[in-house]
């Protein structure tokens, strides 16, 4: 197995391997994302995320509970958002699981509103899913028309 994570992080069970995933430049709008290199069936464990626990929220942290975030700018922090994702994170185990079949060449996605109370940087969503909510700000944020205008003004 070829590690994706840097050497300063301890090796953990089920961590992602370079044989199965690659972080790539997707486009100017989405930035970097995770390309899947191996087929997965719905329900399969994809990987366990690694990183540094912190109380500070950043663009690449994922919320573990009300107080703690896991900083993972190397891999899991690069999983892109979709309102109809192909994976889901269980913050208690740090495991990403496929919620639908995933083929080689697919980009790995998750629904940021499932894990984040408030996003570090809310954004207008253009995921293209039939159920696209149009704006992603976190599960604790009621994105009404007024709220959306306020959030757009906050993030520029």
What single DSSP character describes residue 108? P
pLDDT value of position 145: 53
Which pLDDT does position 156 carry in this prediction?
A: 46
Tens-binned pLDDT, residue by residue, of the chain (156 aa): 899 999 999 999 999 999 999 999 999 888 899 999 999 999 999 999 999 999 999 999 999 999 999 999 999 999 999 999 999 999 999 999 999 999 999 999 999 999 999 999 999 998 999 999 999 999 999 876 555 545 555 544
Euclidean distance between the first and the last CA atom of the chain, given in angstroms as a whole number: 42
Of 125, 126, 144, 127, nearest in space to 135 by CA: 125
Question: What's 73's DSSP letter?
Answer: T
Give the whole-angstrom CA distance, residue 53 versus residue 3: 20
pLDDT at 150: 53
Give residue 30's pLDDT.
87
User: In the chain, what are the domains?
Assistant: 21-116 (2.170.270.10)
Q: Report pLDDT for 146.
A: 52
Q: Are strands 109-110 and 80-81 parallel, antiparallel or unpaired?
A: parallel
Parallel, antiparallel, or unpaired for β 87-90 and 61-63?
Answer: unpaired
The pTM (predicted TM-score) of the whole model is 0.88
Instruction: Provide the Cα torsion 151, 154, 155, 156; round to 10°.
Output: 110
């Amino acid at each position: 197995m070829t590690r994706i994570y840097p050497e300063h992080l301890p090796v953990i069970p089920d961590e992602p391997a370079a044989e199965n995933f690659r972080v790539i430049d997707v486009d100017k709008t989405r930035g970097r994302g995770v390309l899947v290199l191996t087929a997965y069936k719905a329900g399969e464990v994809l990987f366990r995320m690694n990183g540094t626990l912190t109380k500070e929220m950043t663009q690449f942290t994922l919320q573990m509970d009300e107080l703690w975030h896991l900083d993972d700018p190397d891999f899991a922090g690069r999983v892109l958002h979709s309102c109809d994702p192909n994976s889901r994170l269980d913050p208690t185990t740090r495991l990403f699981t496929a919620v639908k079949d995933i083929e080689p060449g697919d980009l790995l996605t998750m629904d940021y509103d499932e894990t984040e109370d408030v996003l570090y940087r809310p954004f207008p969503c253009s995921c293209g899913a039939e159920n696209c909510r149009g704006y992603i700000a976190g599960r604790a944020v009621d994105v009404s028309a007024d709220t959306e205008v306020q959030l757009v003004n906050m993030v520029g």
